[in-house]
Amino acid sequence: MLFTTALFAASCLLCFADDDVVYHDNAEDAVAVLREAMKQRKSHVAIGILGSTDEEGLKQVIGRMLKLATEHTGKPDEGDYINFQYESYKGEAQTTHYGTSPAVEVNYELTYYDSAEQEAEVSSKIVETLAGLDLERKTDYEKVLAIHDYICRNTEYRSAEDLGDTGRTAYGALVNGKAVCQGYCVLLYRMLLEAGVDNRMVFGTGVGPDGTTASHTWNIVDLYGHYYYVDITWDDAGGNHDYFLIPAGAGFEDEHIPGEEFGERAFAEKYIVTTNPFRGDVLGTVDKIKWAAEDMAAAVMN
């Protein structure tokens, strides 16, 4: 289908305005519009794309664009952060024309767990919090530990029934100090990325000691090139670090069953959790030696 090429293969950077709809012939630009709108918590988004398609193509483009807009980018307020902060969407796609050129218009109606005003408050609070944690001369391990422990000290777990939508958000965890597992994890995701530590959120099923199951969310954290499991919610509940930087094969998978998207081969092969236990901040000593050398050089100059 011609439209497939228009959507998924980048071409020259062109866009055309028609009233409130901007028409793009560049896939990345069209997706970026949706991504930015979701970051701003806009409820209605209209996007135009030059090209043609059939009825099946119209159905596919709605979900495909949303998936691309919420892909992990490594930027703190994108990727999983917006993917886990929008509640639902309705999409409609229709064929149209821009001048004599065939085009497709896609309209989204989106709802979110938080608001743009709350997000602004979160961003301000994160800057303040990270400054207070004094991360500049901390190793990556020390950053992960400091952020993990800060969230545990300052967030109280409550049920979704008690908290409503905000319990699922970074706003609930950081500003209100009360959240469900999703709120814990999305705040950890955002703060770690702000500190330069890559990580992903995983949604699935948690299995309790008595075999009971419930929907649950956790993180995988990239530390010195190896991914480890972190369940900050259960660490907070237990008042310990029993679910902190856990390797594969150590029992974590018995209690955490990833959902369909996160259990797929593509995700598992891209984010391979190491089987090697974390044996301390050995690699971080390189940073400490470098900082000590910088301090010594500065002292000599003085």
DSSP string, 135-197: -TT--HHHHHHHHHHHHHHH-EE--HHHHGGGGGSHHIIIIISEE-HHHHHHHHHHHHHHTT-
Domains of the chain: 2-112 (3.30.110), 120-296 (3.10.620)
- What pLDDT does 263 receive? 84
**What are the beta bridge partners of residue 46?**
107
Q: 104 in the Ramachandran plot: left (φ > 0), alpha (ψ -120 to 50) or beta?
A: beta
pLDDT tens, per residue, the chain with 302 residues: 334 333 433 333 344 444 578 898 888 899 999 999 999 999 999 999 998 888 888 889 999 999 999 999 999 999 999 999 999 999 999 999 888 889 999 999 999 999 999 999 999 999 999 999 999 999 999 999 999 999 999 999 999 889 999 999 999 999 999 999 999 999 999 999 999 999 999 999 999 999 999 999 999 999 999 999 999 999 999 999 999 999 999 999 999 999 988 988 899 999 999 999 998 888 777 777 878 787 788 888 88
Where do the H-state alpha helices sit in 9-115? 27-39, 55-69, 80-83
Cβ atoms 195, 143 nearer than 8 A: yes
What 3-state class would DSSP assign to 15? strand
What are the CA-CA distances from residue 85 to residues 48, 194, 278 (Å)? 25, 17, 31
What 3-state class would DSSP assign to 288? helix
User: Residue 271 is encoded by which pair of tokens?
Assistant: 């984010």
CB environment 99-113: b (16+ within 10 A), e (fewer) = eeeebbbbebebebb
Whether the full predicted model's pTM is greater than 0.85, yes or no, is yes
For the chain, the first-to-last Cα distance in angstroms comes to 68
pLDDT digits (tens, 9 = 90+) for 139-196: 999 999 999 999 999 999 999 889 999 999 999 999 999 999 999 999 999 999 999 9
Distance, CA of 138 to chain centre: 23
Report the alpha-carbon distance of residue 186 to residue 184 in Å, rounded.
Answer: 6
What 3-state class would DSSP assign to 250? coil
